[in-house]
Chains A and B, each alone.
Chain A
Amino acid sequence: MDFVVPQNIPPIATYRVMNSQGLIEDESHAPKEVMHEQILEWYKNMLFVNILDAIMSDAQRQGRLSFYMVSTGEEGITVGSAAALEPDDIITCQYRETGVFKQRGFELPDFMSQLVHNKNDPGKGRNMPVHYSGRANTGVHAVASTLGTQIPHAVGAAYAMKVADLEAGKPVSRVAVAYFGDGAASEGDFHGALNVAATRDCPVIFICRNNGFAISTPTSEQYRGDGIASRGLGYGIESLRVDGTDIFAVYEATREARRKALENGGRPILLEMMSYRISHHSTSDDSLAYRTQDEVEPWKTRDNPIARLRLWLQNNDLWNDELEKSTRAQIRADVLREMKSAEKELKPPLSSIWDDVYAVYSGEQLSQRAEMKRMMMKYPDEYDIDEYEGGIEAL
Chain B
Amino acid sequence: MLRKAHKCYGSVAKSISLRRGYASHPPKARLNIPTDYASTPLLHHSAKSSLANKELSNEARNGTTSRINLFQAVNAALAYALRSDQRVLLFGEDVAFGGVFRCSMNLATEFGDHRVFNTPLSEQGIVGFAAGAAMEGMRPVAEVQFADYVFPAFDQIVNEIAKCRYRAGHNADSMNCGGLVIRMPAGGVGHGGLYHTQSPESLFTHVPGMRVVVPRSPVQAKGLLLGAIASNDPVIFLEPKILYRAAVEHVPAEPYILPLSTAEVLKEGKDVTIISYGTPLYACQSALAAAEKDFKCSVELIDLRTVYPWDRQAVMASVNKTGRCIVVHESMVNAGVGAEVAATVQEGCFLRLEAPVQRVGGWSTHAGLAYEKFNIPDVTRIYDAIRTSLEY
Q: Does A associate with B in a complex?
A: yes
A→B interface (CB under 8 Å) = 63-64, 66-67, 117, 124-128, 131, 144-147, 183-184, 186-189, 214-217, 221-223, 280, 283-286, 288-290, 347-348, 350, 352-354, 357, 362, 364-365, 368, 372, 375, 378-379, 381-384, 387
Cβ–Cβ contact A381 & B98, under 8 A? no
Q: How far is the CB of A327 from chain B (nearest CB, A)?
A: 30
Cβ of B249 < 8 Å from any Cβ of A?
Answer: no
Q: Please pick, from B6, B121, B366, B381, the residue contacting A183 in the complex, using a CB distance under 8 A.
A: B121
Nearest CB in chain A to that of B124: its residue: A188
Nearest CB in chain A to that of B363: its residue: A368
Cβ of B296 < 8 Å from any Cβ of A?
Answer: no
Q: How far is the CB of A74 from chain B (nearest CB, A)?
A: 18
Nearest CB in chain B to that of A117: its residue: B370
Cβ–Cβ contact B371 & A128, under 8 A? no
Cβ–Cβ contact B13 & A216, under 8 A? no
Q: Please pick, from A67, A127, A145, A221, the residue contacting B120 in the complex, using a CB distance under 8 A.
A: A221
16 more CB-based (< 8 A) A-B contacts, given A128-B193, A283-B7, A347-B370:
A63-B19, A126-B194, A126-B370, A145-B195, A146-B195, A186-B122, A187-B122, A215-B100, A217-B94, A222-B121, A280-B5, A286-B6, A289-B3, A353-B374, A379-B384, A382-B26
Cβ of B132 < 8 Å from any Cβ of A?
Answer: no
Nearest CB in chain B to that of A184: its residue: B121
Interface residues of B in 360-392 (CB under 8 A from A): 363-366, 368-371, 374-375, 378-381, 384
Q: How far is the CB of A211 from chain B (nearest CB, A)?
A: 13
Contacts of B380 in A (CB 8 A): 375, 379, 382-383
Q: Please pick, from B6, B22, B26, B369, the residue contacting A127 in the complex, using a CB distance under 8 A.
A: B369
Contacts of B3 in A (CB 8 A): 286, 288-289
Contacts of B370 in A (CB 8 A): 117, 124-126, 347-348, 352
Cβ–Cβ contact A353 & B21, under 8 A? no
Cβ–Cβ contact B120 & A222, under 8 A? yes
Cβ–Cβ contact B100 & A144, under 8 A? no
If over half of B's interface residues share one DSSP class (helix, strand or loop), that class is named, otherwise mixed; here it is loop
Contacts of B364 in A (CB 8 A): 354, 357, 362, 364-365, 368
Question: Please, how many angstroms separate the alpha-carbon atoms of A368 and B194 in the complex?
Answer: 19
Cβ–Cβ contact B31 & A128, under 8 A? no
Cβ–Cβ contact A353 & B375, under 8 A? yes
Could you give, for residues 146-175 of chain B, a 1 whenever the CB lies within 8 Å of some chain A CB and a 0 otherwise? 001100100000000000000000000000
Contacts A186-B120, A217-B93 given; indicate if A286 touches B5 (C-beta within 8 A): yes
Q: Please pick, from B6, B29, B93, the residue contacting A382 in the complex, using a CB distance under 8 A.
A: B29
Q: Please pick, from A217, A381, A382, A384, the residue contacting B121 in the complex, using a CB distance under 8 A.
A: A217
Cβ–Cβ contact A188 & B122, under 8 A? yes
Question: Please, how many angstroms separate the alpha-carbon atoms of A146 and B24 in the complex?
Answer: 28
Question: Please, how many angstroms separate the alpha-carbon atoms of A108 and B355 in the complex?
Answer: 54
Q: How far is the CB of A216 from chain B (nearest CB, A)?
A: 4
Cβ–Cβ contact A67 & B96, under 8 A? no
Cβ of B9 < 8 Å from any Cβ of A?
Answer: yes
Q: Please pick, from B8, B96, B98, B195, the residue contacting A284 in the complex, using a CB distance under 8 A.
A: B8
Nearest CB in chain B to that of A125: its residue: B370
The interface centre, meaning the residue of B22, B31, B368, B381 with most chain A CB atoms within 10 A of its CB, is B368
Cβ of B97 < 8 Å from any Cβ of A?
Answer: yes
Contacts A215-B94, A372-B363 given; indicate if A147 touches B24 (C-beta within 8 A): no
